[in-house]
Amino acid sequence: MPRLSKDQCLSDLKLRILSTALAPGSDLDETTLAEHYGMSRTPMREVLHRLAGAGFITTSENRGAKVASMDIGTMRTFFQTAPMIYANIASLAAEARTGPQMDALKDAQHAFTKATAAQDAQATALANHRFHAVIGEMAHNPYLVASLDRLLIDHTRLSQRFYQPANANEKMLIVKASDQHDALITAIEAQESALAIDLSLQHWDLSRDRMERYVRPDPLPVDVVSLKDRRNAV
Amino acid sequence: MPRLSKDQCLSDLKLRILSTALAPGSDLDETTLAEHYGMSRTPMREVLHRLAGAGFITTSENRGAKVASMDIGTMRTFFQTAPMIYANIASLAAEARTGPQMDALKDAQHAFTKATAAQDAQATALANHRFHAVIGEMAHNPYLVASLDRLLIDHTRLSQRFYQPANANEKMLIVKASDQHDALITAIEAQESALAIDLSLQHWDLSRDRMERYVRPDPLPVDVVSLKDRRNAV
DNA sequence: GGGCTCGAAATTGTATACATTTAGTACACA
DNA sequence: TGTGTACTAAATGTATACAATTTCGAGCCC
């Protein structure tokens, strides 16, 4: 993949991280990446520092870069923090959104429905990411957006598997999420911020249920042996 | 100032920005800075990208770096956002603080009172910054801390002049702020998160009053001419 | 066999030369 | 006098060579 510009390289790496093509916690070798993108190490290092600043990766002196990890502690914090930020962002977006931003939001939603119809899980997750990032732009609040962007990174990585519906019920949940997007678009366009808060919290409830089901899968059938084993485990 | 390590250079630039020795919006020349810190342009550029990632400066392609500006629109957003984030951070800090972090917090408060006693406005503002940054570390929430850190940058830059007390009344306000710090330390150490929220909101009210007095100085004497002029202004 | 030291290979960090882009100025022309 | 254009100087962006650090394995001692 030779001769990509720095911006293209940046967004490509973001996509690879959001889609977990680059797994959380995995090492990034700057020499390899530089060759891959057809540039020298100097601009590649600059891209890596940008990614680090935005929370996609972490770097440590003399020890290279890693994709930001998603340990159990961080996820607890994620579930604790997301609804507050999402709701506030939605409220501010309803107050401050502009016309071109509304267009961008509808575009993102269009891409979302198209990806769900095609059963393309990865494209669905990324379109969802873009949808919520646009709402962030609308809020016009650099302080909260710094939080939001970091939340969305982990949200998108966590959601990766839910957009691959395993049964009719899961398929229905995705349709429901899409309907909530439409309702949110209407509320934001009408500048009804109280409604936007309410809708974004409903939307969060749906996401959280799906994500928690993945994080903590349905309990296994109980039997005496496994229980005894577990009782003495750490 | 030759032969400073990259970390020293980074924190020195942060201090110069927080103290407004480098004015908001002013241009940064990477060649000059590199010479000043006794390093080549490559690591200097890396430092600048780190600062950009943390919100201290902004960079634009082929056009260099600027210290983050503080326009009137951003400040409106600042006043809107700060109390929510400060209160949530204080609450989380009370829940999650560790022993060493408590020591660091008390150190910062010690530096704060020492600086006020010495009437050193700049040292006071920076010690106040450190105090609140430590509470951020305690909260152990990377999402919210991203917001907090950006708020604190502007908070410290705005506060710069208030710690230069012009009269007995202003001197008393600084003493009051210091007392609130002490109360907050006690609440966090006792893990009383509801109290910590309340105290941090009180502390914010005090700061906001001081800052707004600077941003919007006491109203000028009303006269008919200026009123008429203003009525037709944008 | 376990753990240590030493050294070579690989990886990251820095300096510098060179390419590219921007900004400022002089000058021509209307 | 104002405007547009070409040129020059200064700044940013990139590539590459070299220095410093870390990692990993071989060899050794206990």
Q: How many residues does chain B have?
A: 234
Q: What is the mean pLDDT of residues A34-42?
A: 96
As a whole number of Å, the end-to-end CA separation of chain B is 48
pLDDT at A62: 93
- HSE-CB of B176 using CA atoms within 13 angstroms: 16
pLDDT tens figures, B153-166: 999 999 987 788 77
Asked if B53 reaches chain A (Cβ–Cβ under 8 Å), the answer is yes
- Note whether A19 and A126 are within 8 A (CB): yes
Look up the CATH number of domain A72-215: 1.20.120.530
**Cβ contact A43 with chain C strand, < 7 A:** no
| Chain B contact for A80 (CB, 8 A cutoff) | yes
| Residue A8, both tokens | 């293209």
- Checking if the pLDDT of B221 tops 70, the result is no
Instruction: State whether residue A98 is helix, strand or coil.
Output: coil
The single residue listed with the structure tokens 């996509």 is A15
Contact criterion met (CB < 8 Å) for B77 and A140: yes
Q: How many other C-beta atoms can be found within 10 angstroms of the C-beta atom of residue B53?
A: 17
Report helix, strand or coil for A67.
strand
Dihedral (CA of B179, B180, B181, B183) sign: positive
Cβ–Cβ below 8 Å for A88 and B84: yes
Match domain A6-67 to its CATH number in 3.40.640.10, 1.10.10.10, 1.20.1440.130, 1.20.1260.10.
Answer: 1.10.10.10
Q: Give CA–CA dist B203/A215, Å, rounded.
A: 39
If you average pLDDT over residues B196-212, what whole number do you get? 93
- The span from the CA of A26 to the CA of A117, in Å, is 32
A3 beta carbon < 7 A from strand C? no
List, in order, residues 6 or more apart from B139 with CB less than 8 Å away.
Answer: B88, B89, B90, B92, B93, B96, B145, B148
Of B49, B77, B142, the CB nearest to A141: B77
pLDDT at residue A189 tops 70: yes
Whole-number average pLDDT of chain A: 90
Mean of pLDDT values over A78-97: 95
**Contacts of residue A104, Cβ cutoff 8 Å, sequence gap at least 6:** A134, A137
What is the rounded CA–CA span in Å between residue B56 and residue B54? 6
Going from the C-alpha of B87 to that of each of A84, B16, B183, B200, the distances in angstroms are 13, 28, 14, 6
Q: How confident is the model over A201-213, as a mean pLDDT?
A: 90
Mean pLDDT, rounded, for B21-33:
96
Long-range contacts of B173-177 (CB under 8 A, 24+ apart): B173/B206, B173/B210, B174/B116, B174/B124, B175/B116, B176/B206, B177/B128, B177/B203, B177/B206, B177/B207
Rounded Cα–Cα distance for residues A22 and A106 (Å): 29
* A151 phi/psi in degrees, rounded to 5: -65, -40
User: Which residues in chain B are contacts of A146 at CB distance < 8 A?
Assistant: 55, 146-147, 149-150
Taking residues B174-187, what's their average pLDDT?
97
A128 is written with which tokens?
């969802």
B65 backbone dihedrals φ, ψ, rounded to 5°: -110, 150
B173 and A CB contact within 8 Å:
no
**Gap between the Cα atoms of B93 and B27, Å rounded:** 37
Measured between beta carbons, the chain B residues lying within 8 angstroms of A147 are 143-144, 146-147
Domain with CATH 1.20.120.530 in chain B: 72-215
* Residues of A in Cβ contact (< 8 Å) with B140: 77
**What's the confidence (pLDDT) of residue A1?**
56
Q: Which of A10, A122, A25, A128 is nearest to A74 (CA)?
A: A25
ipTM confidence: 0.89
| Band of residue B232 on the pLDDT scale cut at 50, 70, 90 | very low
Contact by Cβ (8 Å): A52, A16? no
pLDDT category at B168 given cuts 50, 70, 90 is: confident
Q: Which of B55, B142, B147 sits opposite A144 (nearest CB)?
A: B147
Q: How far is B86 from chain A (nearest CA, A)?
A: 12
Q: Residues with Cβ < 8 Å from B179, sequence gap 6 or more?
A: none
Q: 3-class DSSP state for residue A155? A: helix
Note whether B55 contacts A: Cβ–Cβ < 8 A: yes
Could you tell me if B85 and A88 are in contact, meaning their C-beta atoms sit under 8 angstroms apart?
Answer: no
Residue listed under structure tokens 């002049």: B161
Q: Is the pLDDT of residue A171 over 60?
A: yes
Q: How would residue A219 be classed by pLDDT, with cut points 50, 70 and 90?
A: low
B150–A143 CB contact, under 8 Å: yes
Whole-number percent of chain B with pLDDT over 90 = 79
Q: What's the rounded Cα separation, in Å, for the pair A145 and A126?
A: 18
**In Å, what is the separation between the CA of A173 and the C1' of D5?**
62
Distance, CA of A120 to chain centre: 16
* Closest residue by Cα to residue B151 from A73, A143, A146: A143
In chain B, which residues fall in CATH 1.10.10.10?
6-67
pLDDT at B17 over 90: yes
3-state SS assignment for residue B70: coil
Q: How far apart are CA A154 and CA A214, in angstroms?
A: 14
Residue A124: CA count within 13 A, CB half-sphere: 23
Mutate to test the interface with B, among A10, A95, A143, A145 (most CBs of B within 10 A): A143
Tokens coding B138: 């305690």
**Interface contact flag, A141 B42, Cβ < 8 Å:** no
Chain B interface test: which of A48, A147, A193 (most B C-beta within 10 Å): A147
**Residue B234 scores a pLDDT above 90:** no
Q: Is the CB of B147 less than 8 angstroms away from the CB of A151?
A: no
A40 touches chain B (CB under 8 A): no
Q: What is the pLDDT of residues A43-87, one digit of tens each?
A: 999 999 999 999 999 999 999 999 999 988 889 999 999 999 999
- Phi (first) and psi of residue B173, to 5 degrees: -65, -35
Q: Which residues of A are less than 8 Å from B45 in CB distance?
A: 46
A49/B53 CB distance under 8 A:
yes
* d(C-alpha A118, C-alpha B223), whole Å: 68
Q: Which residues in chain B have their CB less than 8 angstroms from residue A143's CB?
A: 77-78, 81-82, 85, 147, 150-151
A39: enclosing H helix or E strand: none
Q: Shortest CB distance from B42 goes to which of A42, A142, A150?
A: A42
